[in-house]
Amino acid sequence: MNYKQKLKHQSDGWYNDGLKRAKIHDLTGAISSLKKSLQYNGSNTPARNLLGLVYYGRGEIVEALVEWILSKNLQVSDNIANYYIKNIQESKEELEIANNAIKRYNQALNYANEGSEDLAVIYLQKVIDTGVSFVKAYQLLALLFIDKGQLKKARKLLKLANKIDKTDPITLELYHELHLSSRRNQGRLKENNNMPEAVTGEHAIEYKVGNETIIQPKQNYLKSTVKRLDIGNIIIGMILASLIMVFLILPQVTKLNNEKTNKDIINLSDQIEVDKSQIAAMKTQLEEYRANDASTKSETKSNTGVKDSYELLMSVNTHFAANDMSDKDMVADLIKINKSALGEDGLAIYKKITDEVYPRYSSSLYGECQSSYENGNYDNAKTSLEIIYKINPNLDNGNAMLLYGNTLVKLNQTKEAKVILNEVIEKNKGTDAGTKATEELSKLK
């Protein structure tokens, strides 16, 4: 068995373990096993698809979409991920409910961090009332009820969370805290086996030892647990997408009355959501490359081009969206990207950026090239024309490429000039640029 077969065997083994765990509702264990499977073989689409399903079962739809988009990039046809993605896209009402649930959860999380537990409870109750099976919402609301002493309500929520995922460590920890709170309420909590009976107050626990009373501050269990229930950067991305909808799309809708334009707006909003999921998918793929352990180092060289290309693309896309980077700098990075290393979604983002940046920058650079050529600064002209040749070779109906060929002639780089002039002739037959290139080439023979 060679090295690659061993990696595949390990990946398949962890996938089978994840599948077994998922079947018995050990979703936390399934996630752990499936992530290990993907560390050994990132192209294991069944493992990635199952990981998406497990996330979906926990109510984490964005994370599920990330895995399915990555799976689709790895295997375009005969992939059940296409069915999952299509179902979500067609269930726009369900997706909207889930999106609102996530936003309310985040708001509740903020309120809980700020000490406004009553407001947090209201928002979380709205999430639960939608019928969404959202494990983290159950956990946070149960935590708040435990803190308020409403233990029956907390127990009911923890049962719902445990029914979905029987081994989630936060759910199990909350069950333990629920048990301790129940004992405190009955006045039977003792520290270890030798601690005398304790009297619990709102902010402290009092212990009587002989004639002395020891007051011990209560551990701030609420705040420490709330921090662990933060969903993370993918949800922030989803909120940003919603903000774009509110501040960029909806104001335009109020100005437009005809049906065709309204359809364009809807398509644009859908594209924004898709872009956010694509970016999240690329971030996840990059994390997987970084997470590869020593056992996969022999494949590092083949993955380096992919990792670097995705990192550059993500960086440029961020600056492109923020409009805080010059065309010159963006082009310098875009040229370095290996397009063959990008998946379908990566190529879509790459094309969106280059379709706008390349024509704009090449046009401004072309004027500088013409000026440098006329003033005899052929080295400067060549440097800029090389960039134009890479990003927009057919600029000005082939005249930009012709200028490049003529510049090489002036620099006595005859061999390179012939290659460029022949290309001008081939691509611009019957045009002014083609005719002039033919004339210039005849002088070199």
Q: Where are the domains of the chain?
A: 3-90, 96-228
User: What is the rounded CA–CA span in Å between residue 40 and residue 149?
Assistant: 46
pLDDT at residue 225 above 90?
Answer: no
pLDDT at residue 194 above 80?
Answer: no
Beta-bridged to residue 205, according to DSSP, are 200, 216
Architecture label for domain 3-90 = Alpha Horseshoe (1.25)
pLDDT at residue 21 above 80?
Answer: yes
pLDDT at residue 324 above 60?
Answer: yes
**Global confidence as pTM:** 0.50
The pLDDT, as a whole number, for residue 419 is: 92
pLDDT at residue 27 above 70?
Answer: yes
Q: Which position has the higher pLDDT, 254 or 29?
A: 29
Point out the least confidently predicted range of 52-66, 84-98, 153-167, 353-367. 84-98
Q: Give residue 34's pLDDT band: very low, low, confident or very high (50, 70, 90).
A: very high
Query: Rounded mean pLDDT of the chain?
Result: 76
Domains 3-90 and 96-228 share a fold: yes
pLDDT digits over 145-163, tens only? 888 888 899 999 999 999 9
CATH fold for the domain made of 96-228: 1.25.40
Residue indicated by tokens 């990003």: 391
Q: Are 16 and 33 in contact (CB under 8 A)?
A: no
Dihedral over Cα of 414, 420, 422, 428: its sign: negative
pLDDT digits over 308-318, tens only? 777 788 788 88
